A and B are shown apart, each in its own frame.
Chain A
Amino acid sequence: MTILELNNITKTFGGIRAVDSITIGFKKSKITGLIGPNGAGKTTLFNLINGFFKPDFGIIRYKNIRIDSKPPWKIAKLGIGRLFQDVRVFGKLTVLENVLLANINEMGESPFTLLLNLKEVKRQEKENIEKAKHWINFVGLSNKENSPAESLSFGQQKLLAIARLLAGNYEVLLLDEPTAGVNPALIKSILKIFLKMIEYGKTIIFIEHNMNVILEIADWVYFLDEGKVTAFGSPSDVLENPEVRKTYLGL
């Protein structure tokens, strides 16, 4: 079943077509990899799905709802989460606070409900702290719970960003180079987390330059070059493609 559908999406920046008439249907509970050289339009595609950019042409549908003109927060609330390439954790906030911010429908975020229903807000907060601790523990950062995020190493910040993403309970996860800058042992545990997410029925779309990771977990791969999809199929098929080998892998 297709959960997220891009139909003829185009985005230009000052005459350059960063994304050029891309049509892709992402399947539910599958891991789809996006590969391609730098500047191929992979991150732009994520920014379009996410609502940070509006497409010049084309339609994006999530569960049959048009999302291409919705703001990012609405898209997040509908169930699409994002892991940024540069992690984007909230540096001055603690690890726990970072994960707590993942709660989508937090009552206490509106001053009105906060004042009118303080008891319920406090109850929800208590519950959310327990959940947040579960995810912090899940990625192995329990001993850092009260440290500011900026004090963590890059790899740990990535784990924190993953915990934050998982706590958001999104259905579709957009992961921008989830294993870049992470040591090999950590990569293994991150991949395990992703495979577990698929068991929970989540859909993963990820951008990756590490071909071993692609071969290991992707069900389906799209190769992007100059804003266009030029090859797609199973990971081994795409990596065997002569054009991919030549333009991307340099073989």
Chain B
Amino acid sequence: MEYIVHILIMICIYGILALSLNLLVGYSGLLSLSHAAFYAIGAYTTTLFMMNAEFNFFTALIYGIIVTAISAIFIAYPSLRLKGDYFILTSLGFQLIIFNILYNWVGLTKGPYGIPGIPKPRLFGIEFYSNYLYLLLSIFFFSMVFIFLRLLYNSPFGRALKALREDEIAAGALGKEVPKLKIWAFIIASAIAAIAGALYASYITYIDPTSFTLDESIFIVSILLIGGSGNIKGPLVGTVFMIILPELLRFIGLPNTIAPNVRQMIYGLLLIILMRYRPQGLAGEYRFE
């Protein structure tokens, strides 16, 4: 049972990441490879505020969200002028910079040693220590993010983002303030990734930079490529699929030594098949071009 609870918590965390990245990839048409960087900034900032300033999880989370949102502006600026491949490379650069800061700023982040003993959230005297309680907390955050993003996706804001995804020039000619819309999309997507980061850090109680590598960013993007983007279903289908798939593969009895490699191969094969036969993903609306 503990095992299933763990999987469900991970689905909530990655669901939050995928839904937020969807605002950039599926709605704004910006394939960002830096989502793990914002996930990391959220995780580290919340952790540091909890451990160094002894803030409560929820207060620290607010600081985490603010710091992540501010850092999002740094990547939002270059994106105002860049699209397509150029933007992908810029986001890649940002991801590498953040990873290297986390890895090398030992004084603050303890670098490769990581930060152990991260406290669990506490609210009205209840400590979310058991995984069952933590699952409830994760479901709460996931639901809030889901409701908030569904509102945004279906609002005139979401529609305007889709317009600039389809044709930035035509959107501009219709009076859409393209730069402002993009900056907002970045700030919101990153701030929400910070929530996932905080949840992850406090759940695992240990973070180090290897949880937030480029591979992690690619994994979040592949959730959207496999599940689909541009609507609310795609990221959810993708998250459930990508989190449960490796667990299912455990049961087919592959020797432990080759299981991870086979898993990677299956991911790769799936991506190839989907891109060929269903480029919008399992349940998505938007086909990234």
Contacts and interface: CB of A to CB of B under 8 A. Distances in A.
Interface of A: 50-52, 71-73, 76-77, 81-82, 84, 88-93, 97, 100-104, 106-111, 114-115, 118, 121, 125, 164, 168
11 contacts: A73-B178, A90-B163, A90-B171, A92-B162, A100-B156, A100-B159, A109-B157, A111-B152, A111-B188, A114-B151, A121-B156
Given A88-B167, A90-B166, A101 B176 contact: yes
Given A93-B159, A100-B156, A82 B181 contact: no
Contacts of A108: 155-157
A77 B178 CA distance: 13
A110 B176 CA distance: 11
A206 to B, nearest CB: 16
A106 B155 CA distance: 10
B215 interface: no
A52 B173 CA distance: 9
B286 interface: yes
B156 to A, nearest CB: 4
A109 B285 contact: no
Contact of A93 (B155, B162, B175, B188): B162
B177 interface: yes
A52 B169 contact: yes
Contacts of A73: 172, 174-178
Nearest to A90: B166
B144 to A, nearest CB: 13
A45 to B, nearest CB: 15
Contacts of B178: 73
Contacts of A103: 156
A168 B174 contact: yes
A215 B238 CA distance: 58
Contact of B176 (A50, A52, A91, A109): A109
Contacts of B175: 73, 76-77, 104, 168
Given A73-B178, A102-B174, A109 B166 contact: no
A92 B171 contact: no
Given A72-B173, A73-B172, A92-B166, A101 B159 contact: yes
Given A91-B166, A109-B181, A81 B173 contact: yes
A171 B248 CA distance: 62
B241 to A, nearest CB: 23
Contacts of B170: 84, 88-90
Nearest to B185: A111
A81 B176 CA distance: 12
Interface in B146-198: 151-152, 155-157, 159-160, 162-163, 166-167, 169-178, 181, 184, 188
B209 to A, nearest CB: 31
A13 to B, nearest CB: 17
